[in-house]
Amino acid sequence: MKLQQNIRRILNEETSLQGKLNQLIKSKGIVVASKSVGGIENLTKLLELDLSDVNTQEKLIKNFINFGQFLNVEVSFIEIRTSKTGYRIIDVYYTDDEFNKPIWREVTVSITKQINNFFPFKVRSSGDPVFSSDNIKIFIHATQIEVEDDEEEYNDEDVIQESKENEHTSLQSKLYQLIKSKGLKLASRSTGGLENLIKILDLDEEGYDNLIYQHLTENYYPDYDWGPKLHDFYRKDVKKYGIYDFKVKDRLAYSYLGEWDGYDYLYTLVISKWLSNQLTELFNDKWIPTFKRWFEENSGLEVRDIDMEGRYIDLSEQTIRSQSMMGTINESKFFQRRIDLDKVKNLLRDYAYQMYYETKSYGQFKYELTLKAVEWIMWDEYKMGWDELPEQEEIEFVTKVSNILDNEIKQLYNYYNKK
């Protein structure tokens, strides 16, 4: 009987300690909680945490960031997303002040280093290439939010029509500025969702519709212009070829179908899955009638049906389809259209030290240093992570560029090899 009582007492004490530690983590942070029991290893054992589990890592890292200090910037909020290959990416959005303006890359490195110094598992910066990511499950990326303190006046030409004619509150003004500078998606997340944003901005139905219209104009405007001056051009092309494709940043986004593939005139707007998924995430299905109006006004093409299920044609992001029937075959390759070789050359010195100590031969150093620079450019300018890039084309492009820059790379390698 006494043995049973001792067992029950011990179990109760352990449960009580776990509860107190979890509460301390919530109120003071993982670092303070770890110090109270002699370190992160003891804390892990007491709470029976599986540090190899990506969900556990994510939870601990989010707490660490929320209670941490990184180059004296203020963390506003954290966004979690999963890459196509299954890696977690933690986006940290922060603000700075007029006296402290580190660039986002410095903040990313600061957060990554502190996490790696504290936890037994490791993370990497989001721009790090695939080859250096063995056993890494989580990547870190920091993004600066630029919000002006001064209230901004909006004239009649602004697409967003405020619901109230009186002066905006300071919060409303900051949100409008955030929408203008960083986009609707980021502004929504800063308020805990689109519904909260709409309530704070006090938008009526018309204002909501105009908000969607502005978002479409800012983010999904086709690459080669449109508007009234091109209405006749679109109509003639559709009449001649039966179809017209609209690309956004070189990605096939939506297509208009006329007399296509044996059908009578379809009057159909086909919207790609990647685009419809992004809009549905923000607006549910309320964006669809606004998109129809936005498309008709800018293209001059009448829409009677919208297809997002691929009933007529597949516009998935994996399909790279040329318009050979229109004589618009695109001969430019993915990276050649996007990468400036001078930028690659300028970045080599920044990453030479790291790559020298992470590689074992000049050939590996040459390739991986070039890869590092290319993937940083793709992330910095296009917000495309390594997992979103065409693998085989990347290998061919990086190999070619590394050969072009062989002299510069060899000088960097010899510099560190002599040390």
The pLDDT profile of the chain, 419 residues, written as one tens digit per residue, is: 455 555 455 445 445 778 888 888 988 899 999 998 899 999 898 888 999 898 899 999 999 998 988 888 888 888 888 766 677 889 888 887 656 677 778 888 899 999 999 999 999 887 666 544 467 889 898 888 765 444 444 444 444 444 443 444 567 777 777 777 777 777 777 777 777 787 788 878 888 888 888 889 888 888 767 888 888 888 888 888 888 888 887 788 899 988 866 677 789 999 998 899 889 888 888 899 999 999 999 999 999 999 888 777 766 533 433 333 333 323 335 777 678 888 888 889 888 888 888 888 999 999 999 999 998 888 888 778 777 788 788 888 898 899 888 888 998 888 888 75
- Name the domain count of the chain: 2
| Beta bridge pairs of residue 73 | 70
Q: How many CB atoms lie within 10 A of CB 329?
A: 9
**The pLDDT value given to residue 161:** 45
Q: What's the sign of the alpha-carbon dihedral 101, 177, 108, 363?
A: negative
Is there a contact between 368 and 362 (Cβ–Cβ < 8 Å)?
no
Domain boundary among 263, 293, 326: 326
- Cα–Cα distances in Å, from 331 out to 78, 163, 282, 320? 40, 48, 35, 12
- 35/244 Cα distance (integer angstroms): 63
* Residue 238 belongs to some domain of the structure: yes
Q: Which tokens belong to 270?
A: 């086909």
Q: How many CB atoms lie within 10 A of CB 87?
A: 20
* Residue 170 belongs to some domain of the structure: no
Distance linking the first and last C-alpha atoms of the chain: 70
- 295/280 Cα distance (integer angstroms): 17
Q: Are residues 348 and 384 in the same domain?
A: yes
Domain boundary among 303, 326, 349: 326
CA angle 270, 275, 276 (to 5 degrees): 70
Q: Which domain holds residue 303?
A: 228-326
**The pLDDT value given to residue 84:** 62
Domain boundary among 326, 355, 388: 326
Residue type at 59?
A: K
- 106/255 Cα distance (integer angstroms): 41
Please list, in sequence order, all residues whose beta carbon lies within 8 angstroms of the beta carbon of residue 15, skipping any fewer than 6 positions away.
Answer: none
- 292/269 Cα distance (integer angstroms): 8
Side-chain half-sphere exposure of 93, counting CA atoms within 13 A = 17
Burial of 255 (0-12, 13-18, 19+ CB in 10 A): buried
Dihedrals phi, psi of 262, to nearest 5 degrees? 90, -5
Closest by CA to 347, choosing from 73, 150, 192, 129, is 129
- Cα–Cα distances in Å, from 192 out to 107, 195, 197? 23, 8, 8
Q: Are residues 239 and 296 in the same domain?
A: yes
Q: Are residues 313 and 366 in the same domain?
A: no
Is there a contact between 127 and 97 (Cβ–Cβ < 8 Å)?
no
* Residue 370 belongs to some domain of the structure: yes
* Residue 179 belongs to some domain of the structure: no
Q: Are residues 311 and 361 in the same domain?
A: no
Q: Are residues 233 and 311 in the same domain?
A: yes
Helix (H) or strand (E) holding 252: strand 251-257
- 371/218 Cα distance (integer angstroms): 31
Q: Are residues 382 and 352 in the same domain?
A: yes
